[in-house]
Structure 1
Amino acid sequence: MTGQPSPSESSGPVPPAGNVPPADPGARGGTDVAPPPRWGIPTAIGSLLGFVVLSFVVSYGLTALGVGPVTATIIATPVGWLSLAGVPLLASRRRGNGPRSDLALWFRPVDVGIGLLACLVVLAAATVILLITIAVTGVTPTSALGNVAGHANSHWQVVALAVMALCAAFVEEIHFRGMWWSALRRRGLGAWPTLLVTAVLFALVHLEPTRVVLLFAAGLAAGYVRMRSDRLGPAIVTHLLVNLLAAVSLLSLL
């Protein structure tokens, strides 16, 4: 955990690629300006598609070999994360200025308080959305992870799914509010449109039609604290606390 923002973060949104002024080596007391990252939206798309392909191929292959669907999910999902979070981290190191600068991946102690407040907002919104959904459809929405846990036949599977729920907070924030956010902002998209786009992507990628509005609201909350703080820490804490409740709910099945 670090306490001081990097120059690129404290100076506001990252300018579009190509608009970063070159450093003046002859200027007295001047500092070098970090060059724009050499990755963008195509890399973000590739990272997302890689997650989908890896998860599907591994899950399908394991199922074909006779592995149960719950175990297949427990194995396939983290493999897919190698692309979802691995690509942003690798791209920022190899073709950018590092995760702290490119993805705003850093924390401050105050992020815990910000994340807690945002989590309470998400829970309040989720309660309203849940009540409206039940009133309109007569169906209580359940998460995909909860559905998988309902078919678990051993304690280790439930524990593994609970751990996955916690890890997902880091992985998904690095991808959506880290890589996608940075790529869209460098393309010149405004902060509010970027907030909306990343929230929509976050909601749709989960492939949970009955919870899409709830997921969109959660994406808005995480994106808002990302936008206001100009760092990923508060978004990760928000997501982690929300998923912590899901993990506790899963462990109650033991």
Structure 2
Amino acid sequence: MWITLVVVVLGAANALINWLAAGWYVPVCAAAAALLVLIARRDGLTWADLGLGAASVRRGLRWGLILAGAVLTVYLVGLAVPFTRDAFLDERAAGLSPGQLVYRVLVRVPLGTVLLEEIAFRGVLWAMVERRRGPMWATAVSSVLFGLWHVQPSRGLTRSNAAAEAVFGTGPAGVVLSVAAAVVGTALAGVLFCELRRRSDSLIPPVALHCALNSAGYTLAWAAGRWWGG
């Protein structure tokens, strides 16, 4: 019953942030994350079960700093190499004003996207399934749902990202293929996030990696659009 309720809350949150209340993105994400934690606690999970225990904070912070540094290094190399630079040319980032970029990087991503997705998929859902079926099932269920969570956000990928347009085109078939690729890609990323959470017993490493990927990605895409967007 509790896992079903979590999935229902996630479905409602997905509809709200993508269609019904997109302008309230951060408050909806924060409220949904808080509700999911309450559900998990009602299900008997401890803070440690959710990856939020005090004992794992120091280890989680060490992992998080290493992961964030690795992401930034890879991104900078990718931006410097002409062959991979097109992956950073994304109209969604390039069209942001400096103020919008700061809001996106420092508020929307960490307090909206990352907060909800990590609490939901690597915290609450992973812990619930792990207690009932073990870590392999927890990672599989969490990662599949994480991939499906990105169906709607990825529908405009071929229109906004130069690399995606070059690979898939902009026709209906290209949109379907790009969405499928995004779902598979985010599901595989979810496996990595789950493994980081399992090995560290903390949500801090996946949170740090997720924030670095999204926030640094927006920042460098914004810069690339101005320097090389043409």
TM-score by length of 2: 0.65
User: Could you say which residue in structure 2 is the equivalent of 1:47?
Assistant: 9
Aligned residue pair count: 188
Distance 1:234 1:212, change over 3 A: same
1:9-55 C-alpha deviation (Å, 9 max, x unpaired)? xxxxxxxxxxxxxxxxxxxxxxxxxxxxxx72122112201212322
Structural mapping, 1:114-153, within 5 Å: 114-118=63-67, 120=70, 146-152=90-96
The one-letter code of the counterpart of 2:28 is: G
Structural mapping, 1:171-250, within 5 Å: 171-188=116-133, 190-207=134-151, 208=154, 209=179, 210-250=181-221
CA distance in 2, matches of 1:121, 1:149: 18
User: Could you say which residue in structure 2 is the equivalent of 1:162?
Assistant: 105
Q: CA RMSD in A?
A: 3.6
**Would you say 1:57 and 2:20 are equivalent positions?**
yes
Give the secondary structure class of the aligned counterpart of 1:100. coil
CA distance in 1, matches of 2:87, 2:141: 23
User: Contact conserved, 2:196 with 2:205, CA < 8 A, in 1?
Assistant: yes
Identity over aligned pairs, percent: 24
1:104-140 C-alpha deviation (Å, 9 max, x unpaired)? 223422223323455648987xx99xxxxx9xxxxx6
Give the secondary structure class of the aligned counterpart of 1:109. helix
CA distance in 1, matches of 2:25, 2:190: 20
The one-letter code of the counterpart of 1:78 is: V
Of 100, 115, 135, 2:47 maps to 100
User: Could you say which residue in structure 2 is the equivalent of 1:69?
Assistant: none
Structural mapping, 1:56-75, within 5 Å: 56-59=19-22, 75=23
CA distance in 1, matches of 2:197, 2:218: 23
1:53-110 C-alpha deviation (Å, 9 max, x unpaired)? 3222123xxxxxxxxxxxxxxx3321431453122123245x2557614522234222
User: Could you say which residue in structure 1 is the equivalent of 2:176?
Assistant: none
Structural mapping, 1:11-26, within 5 Å: none
Distance 1:109 1:230, change over 3 A: closer
User: Contact conserved, 1:170 with 1:240, CA < 8 A, in 2?
Assistant: no
Distance 1:113 1:170, change over 3 A: same
CA distance in 2, matches of 1:121, 1:158: 19
1:187-242 C-alpha deviation (Å, 9 max, x unpaired)? 32x21232122122222212222433432332122110111223322222222232
CA distance in 2, matches of 1:179, 1:122: 28
The one-letter code of the counterpart of 2:13 is: F
User: Could you say which residue in structure 1 is the equivalent of 2:172?
Assistant: none
Structure 2 runs not aligned, ≥5 long: 155-178
The answer to which structure, 1 or 2, has the higher relative contact order (CA under 8 A, 6+ apart) is 2
CA distance in 1, matches of 2:73, 2:36: 29
CA distance in 1, matches of 2:30, 2:193: 22
Structure showing greater radius of gyration is 1
User: Could you say which residue in structure 1 is the equivalent of 2:25?
Assistant: 77
